[in-house]
């Protein structure tokens, strides 16, 4: 059971907010929505283009998609995926890589064609990154754009790895990571000093071009940045605020992440 709080006529910069009792219930609903689109496109003989996120936030979504594949026969043969980001430099077989993450939580358990999987390449020579990023953008455009883009939100307000200072018109590119982002990743890498200081990320403009954007946030640890994002003016200092410039975004929260928002509890 969720409560959905629609766009307020008095505040055109307030997106739809859907609040669920917990992250698992919310994630299952998001996964079911993705599955519905996949099935609808299959009936039409069409493809679905998904923009995928990593980190702890989407894990339950991927878990439910895997269950739907195994138990209900959901096929991913008509799905093309583009991941938001990858650390740089990063070897794909490293356990901290987003390639490894996506294989562990989704791709190794479904029937998606490996040729249809796109994750930014953390092994490139630096001089090749600009042309690679342009090609990444062009692949998305050639397929007609992203149908559903999944997002988490970092404590800096980053979406993808678009850190404070990122511009509304930014495209896929190499970025420098914020110190708070490095600290938050330290445990995964066994110390902050081992976290790559750069990443390749889809840009804000790339993300906003998706036909549907679902930003998910779980737990009281995300309550402050969710509140700031929803209540602040649109600013480069909180990149997630740019999401409020499109009507196609939905904030999917559990009660913890919504706990600093007045009267928004499932």
Question: Is 13 considered catalytic here?
Answer: no
Q: Is 89 helix (H, G, I), strand (E, B) or coil?
A: coil
> Which residue in the list 64, 163, 224, 231 is annotated as catalytic?
163
Which two three-digit tokens encode residue 31? 């996964």
The residue behind tokens 């455009």 is 141
Three-state DSSP at 168 gives: coil
Q: Is the previous residue joined to 227 through a cis bond, with omega within 30 degrees of 0?
A: no
CB distance 170 to 177 below 8 Å: no
Q: Reading across the β-sheet that carries 85-88, which strands appear in turn? A: 85-88, 198-201, 173-176
Rounded-to-integer distance, Cα 251 and Cα 244, Å? 10
- Least Cα distance to 162 among 150, 148, 147, 177 occurs for 177
Q: State the catalytic residues.
A: 163
């Amino acid at each position: 059971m969720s409560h959905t709080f629609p766009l307020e006529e008095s505040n055109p910069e307030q997106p739809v907010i859907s609040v669920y009792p917990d992250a698992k219930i919310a994630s299952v609903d998001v996964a079911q929505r993705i599955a519905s689109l996949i099935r609808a496109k299959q009936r039409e003989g069409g493809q679905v283009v998904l923009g995928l996120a990593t980190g702890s936030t989407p894990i339950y979504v991927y878990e439910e998609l895997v269950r739907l594949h195994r138990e209900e026969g959901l096929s991913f043969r008509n799905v093309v995926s583009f991941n938001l980001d990858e650390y740089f430099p990063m070897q794909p077989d490293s356990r901290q890589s987003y390639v490894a993450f996506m294989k562990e939580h989704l791709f190794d358990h479904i029937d998606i064609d490996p040729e249809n999987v796109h994750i930014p390449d953390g092994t490139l020579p630096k001089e090749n990154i600009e042309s690679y990023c342009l090609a990444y953008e062009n692949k998305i455009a050639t397929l007609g754009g992203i149908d559903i883009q999944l997002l988490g939100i970092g404590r800096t307000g980053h979406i993808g790895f678009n850190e404070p200072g990122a511009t509304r018109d930014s495209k896929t590119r190499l970025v420098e990571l914020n110190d708070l982002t490095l600290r938050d990743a330290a445990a995964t890498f066994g110390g902050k000093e081992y976290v790559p200081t750069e990443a390749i990320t889809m840009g804000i403009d790339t993300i906003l071009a998706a036909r549907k954007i679902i930003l998910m946030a779980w737990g009281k640890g995300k309550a402050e940045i969710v509140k700031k994002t929803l209540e602040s003016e649109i600013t480069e200092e909180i990149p997630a605020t740019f999401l409020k410039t499109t009507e196609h975004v939905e904030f999917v929260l559990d009660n913890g992440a919504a706990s600093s928002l007045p009267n928004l509890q499932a």
